[in-house]
Structure 1
């Protein structure tokens, strides 16, 4: 099992969800399949990870160029970091 943590502003309450281990894009796609209410916030029209969303695996920020090859092992936590705007 993997823990997926979403931004509080997205959920209105619960922020931690269960997922399955694997490559980061597959972890997120499977999560979006199980929780379609978050699909548009995580995936583009071709089910690619949105570039402006950041992901941490066990507190390590995953660089955009490394997402497709990043493995999320069982017992890990994936934290989804929404973009921030302001000034």
Structure 2
């Protein structure tokens, strides 16, 4: 299984860690939203494709938005979804 981590700011009811099946990063995000639909508006567009405004890390390495459909997230890996931060 792939571990999906969310930041505390996006955690629903305090849950920050989830499990999904292995696949591409795109597939993991889509499965995550299928299992937890209240995250849909934050993570997927109207066509069900991952939005590009948030960062995704696979085992600590940034996965660019253009690479999410081809980078594999194998079993025992960690996908961290990090919302954009604003400030100065």
Q: Normalised by the shorter chain, which TM-score bucket?
A: over 0.9
Pick the structure with more helix per residue: 1
1:55 matched residue in structure 2:
56
CA shift for structure 1 position 64: 2.0
Count of aligned pairs? 87
- 1:1-87 counterparts in 2 under 5 A? 1-11=1-11, 12-87=13-88
**TM score, norm. by length of structure 1:** 0.94
Pairwise CA RMSD of aligned residues? Answer: 0.9
Residues of 1 paired with 2:36 and 2:65: CA distance?
23
Q: Which structure 2 residue ranges, 5 or more long, are not aligned?
A: none
Per-residue Cα deviation, 1:30-73 (whole angstroms, up to 9, x for no partner): 11000001111111111111110110000010012211101000
TM normalised by structure 2 equals: 0.93
How many Å apart are 1:8 and its aligned residue? 0.6
5+ unaligned residues in a row in structure 1: which ranges? none
